[in-house]
Amino acid sequence: MCDINFVGHIHHNWLIRKNSNSILFNVGVDVLNFMPITIEEALSKIARIKKNNAIEEY
């Protein structure tokens, strides 16, 4: 299990990244169609991407 950090205003266009012990989820409106999302929606997006092994390592 790893930590999830919600970040924003990062000047880059990525949604989710992972390092050795945490997942970063970009909640900036520029990557989310300029709309807020709920914590449930964010966790669902993370789960789907993890299932497909599509989280970018940094």
Whole-number pLDDT of residue 1: 66
SS3 of residue 23 by DSSP = strand
pLDDT at 40: 96
With 0-12 CB in 10 A as exposed, 13-18 as middle and 19+ as buried, what is 45? middle
For the chain, the straight-line distance linking the first and the last C-alpha, in angstroms and rounded, comes to 18
In Å, what is the CA distance from 54 to each residue of 23, 34, 48? 12, 23, 9
In this predicted structure, what is the pLDDT of residue 37?
93
* Residues 4-58 pLDDT 10s: 999 988 888 899 998 888 999 999 988 999 999 999 999 999 998 888 877 777 7
